[in-house]
Amino acid sequence: MGAPVEPSDSGQIDFRGAARRALTDPLRQGAIGLAVHTFRQNRAAVLSGLPEWEAWREQARAIKAHTLAHLDVYLDRLDRSVRGAGGQVHWAADAAEAREIVLDLARRHKIRRIAKSKSSTTSEIVLNPALEAAGLEVTETDLGEFIVQLAGEESSHFVVPAIHKTTPQVAALFAERLGAPRVEEPERLTQAARVHLREKFLAAEMGVTGVNFAVAETGTIVVFENEGNARMVTSLPRIHVAVMGMEKVVPRLADLAVMLRVLPLSATGARMAEYVSFLTGPRRPGEVDGPDELHLVILDNGRSRILGDPEMREALQCIRCGACLNVCPVYARAGGHAYGSIYSGPIGAVLTPLYRGIDHAGELPFASTLCGACAEVCPVKIDLPRLLLTLRRRAVEHLPGRAARTRRPVGWVERLAMRAFALAATSARRWGRSGRVLRAALRPFVRGSSIPALPFLTRWTRYRHFPAPPPSAFRDDPTSNEP
């Protein structure tokens, strides 16, 4: 479930169907709920003692917005800097071209084994199946990514690919696929993975990574991680291939000062990433480790189109921290696989329709309550609710057949409800009266402090309780100044 599919051959993403299936899996619900809760708490605890946070966010936003406004200049500078440092640069217009570049490098260097570190961009271009189809052995070395690879699944979170798995599930998987003893202590499971992966690191002839940032000024590729596996992938094999979306460039090394802070803090609440690798060119004479060749693949794959779209350009500011996933009530229930792409959560609901086309992913912008929590946490201040609303408008404009003529993607019940809401919300008197009527109508269904089931809104109460109405409205409070 949830395998990313290349844009050109994708079918419609069935978010509703996949989310409905996810809602019936209590283990998945529990695993995701616990993890995102922990990340949110860690982040909140650290930020409560950081008065600089808002200034850092503004700085990070400004760096990304400035870079996007001059992207051609900085990409050209990056190309020259990487070549100047001894690396090689390849430009890929789309996923197929990017895959072919990596395959061609593997063929030319007679590569048989590849070690990879976590990378959303290589998942976006569906690299692993192409490499495996060519007879290459590909091993994911990030623990979470390794788990989902063993399970034959895809990552369901940018930062924590196996967020949907419980420890007993991982223990069973390792016992079955690695022949490891059936233990459930995380340390022993990690040890089993380490023993297996150590061999893979030593045997790999090519290392493939993503790129968190690429510095135009120096040609430095920057990779954040928490396990040290990316450092092995970039230093042990003789060829290193780094695949980056073209929006990952930053102008100067100094720009990283703020990015080094906001990315890990937003991702997991960590004050800094455990490992940050700065890679400038291949191994130089006299150096003891590092690859003989460094290849940087710069991927467009629809990004130029987004850059030229003034309403949506802001989406390219994303630094893939995952914070918007961690606070999204829809992601927490549906999980990452429901989004049908490596990009999930609120930013996935924006990026996937942009990359893959609104015809294929038109349901995704509607997979949001528009509560605004994503925009509040985003370290580069992307206005995700605005982007989602814009895409909703476009999805309606692209509706096929009769729906296109009437521009009515929703059923009559919802249309009626929205009309009634509009009528009530445009008059203080009507608003007050409808509140009283609704409170009285709901009262017979209250059990304790919530409403577990309603004869209407049944799809809502199938998976969660409806909140009980308060005994009186705030506006009825005699101490209120409201009319």
| Closest by CA position to 358, among listed 385, 384, 391, 386 | 391
The residue among 99, 180, 123 whose CA lies nearest residue 5 is 123
Cβ closest to ligand SF4, residue 181 vs residue 329: 329
Q: Measure the CA–CA gap between 165 and 9, rounded to whole angstroms.
A: 29
Nearer to ligand SF4, 122 or 268 (CB): 268
For tokens 């580069």, the residue is 380
Report if residue 78 touches ligand SF4, rule: CB under 6 A: no
CA proximity to 119, closest of 13, 260, 263, 243: 243
The residue among 64 and 113 lying less far from ligand SF4, judged by its C-beta, is 64
Considering only 328, 367, 380, 424, the residue that binds ligand SF4 (CB under 6 A) is 380
Stretch that binds ligand SF4, among 38-46, 79-87, 146-154, 374-382 (CB under 6 A): 374-382
Cβ–Cβ under 8 Å, residues 33 and 382: no
**Shortest reach from residue 332's CB to ligand SF4, in Å:** 14
Give the residue among 324, 78, 58, 344 at the shortest CA–CA distance from 213.
78
Cβ proximity to ligand SF4, 216 vs 384, nearer residue: 384
Smaller CB distance to ligand SF4: residue 265 or 424? 265
Give the residue among 373, 379, 336, 457 at the shortest CA–CA distance from 32: 336
4 sits in which H/E element: none
Q: How far is the CB of 325 from ligand SF4 (least distance, A)?
A: 7
382 scored as a contact of ligand SF4 (CB under 6 A): yes
Cβ nearer to ligand SF4, comparing 276 with 378:
378
Interface with ligand SF4 includes 75 (CB under 6 A)?
no
CA dihedral 402, 404, 409, 411 (to 10 degrees): -30
Instruction: Specify the residue, 386 or 398, whose C-beta has the smaller distance to ligand SF4.
Output: 386
CB of 255 to ligand SF4, least distance (A): 15
| Of residues 309-368, those binding ligand SF4 (CB under 6 A) | 318-324, 347
Structure-derived torsion over alpha carbons of residues 318, 321, 324, 325, reported in degrees to the nearest 10: 120
Determine the size of the site formed for ligand SF4 (CB under 6 A): 14
Residues that bind ligand SF4 (CB under 6 A): 266, 318-324, 347, 377-380, 382
